[in-house]
Amino acid sequence: MRVQFATSNEHKVAEARGILAVLGWEVERVAIDYPEVRSPSVEDVALDGARYVADKLGGPVIVEDTGLFIRALKWFPGTYSKYVLNTVDVTGVLRLMEGVDDRYAEFRCAVGFCEPGGDPKAFAGAVPGTINHAPLGDGGFGYDPIFITEGESRTFAQMPVEEKNAVSHRRRALAAFVAWAREEMPGR
C-alpha cells in the first residue's frame, strides 16, 4: 500500500518510511497546505487535517502535528508552538521560564491517518522532559535546543539525530499507528 505524508519536511518522511517499512507500505511526501483547527489537542489537529487531505487527494494519507507543552505555562505553547517559534522564538519561551522552578515539559505528537470518505484516526506519542535554562546544541530544529528528555543530560539539539529519533514523540506516535494498522488493516 502507498500512503502520502502531507509535510514539507523530508526528514519526517524518512523517519516514517523507516517505521512503516514493517507494514510493507510505501511512504511518499506530498506538499499540501491544510487548515489547522484551533484546539489545545494535537490529536484534534491531526484528525481534522487527515480528513481534509485524504478527501483532497483521494488516497490514504498521514499528517502529523507536534507541539511543546510546558506545565508551568499552562501547557503553552502547545498546538501553537510553530506560531510562537516564528514570533517570540526560543528566547521568548526562556524568558517566560526565568525563575520558574517547575521545568517540566513534554513534546506531544499526533499522527493522523485517513482514507477518502473514511473516519480519520489519530495516534499519539509523547516524550517527557524539562526546559533547560539556556539553548544548547546545533542539531535538531525548533525547540530542540532547550528540551532535555528524561534520563538525559543533553538537549535534543545535542543528541545525534538517530539517538533523538529513537526516543522521539514522533516515533512513538508512528509506532502506535503501525501497531493499529497491523491489527486493523492486515495485508493492505
What is the C-alpha to C-alpha distance for residues 163 and 166, in angstroms, rounded to an integer?
Answer: 5
Using the rule CB under 8 A, which residue among 41, 56, 80, 139 binds a copy of itself? Answer: 80
How big is the chain by its Cα radius of gyration, in Å? 17
Asked whether position 24 contacts a copy of itself by CB under 8 A, the answer is no
Per-residue burial over 16-43, b if 16 or more Cβ lie within 10 Å, else e, is beebbeebebebebbeeebebeeeebbb
Asked whether position 34 contacts a copy of itself by CB under 8 A, the answer is no
Using the rule CB under 8 A, which residue among 1, 30, 57, 88 binds a copy of itself? Answer: 88
Asked whether position 11 contacts a copy of itself by CB under 8 A, the answer is no
Most distant CA pair in the chain, distance: 54
Using the rule CB under 8 A, which residue among 73, 136, 161, 175 binds a copy of itself? Answer: 73
Q: Using CB under 8 A as the criterion, what x/- string covers residues 92-121 for binding a copy of itself?
A: x--xx-x-----------------------
Using the rule CB under 8 A, which residue among 6, 27, 63, 84 binds a copy of itself? Answer: 84
**Would you give the DSSP letter of residue 21?**
G
Asked whether position 85 contacts a copy of itself by CB under 8 A, the answer is no
Give the sign of the dihedral formed by CA 2, CA 163, CA 80, CA 33.
negative
Give the sign of the dihedral formed by CA 12, CA 16, CA 18, CA 19.
positive
Q: Is 89 considered catalytic here?
A: no
15 vs 44, which CB is nearer to a copy of itself? Answer: 44
Catalytic residues: 65
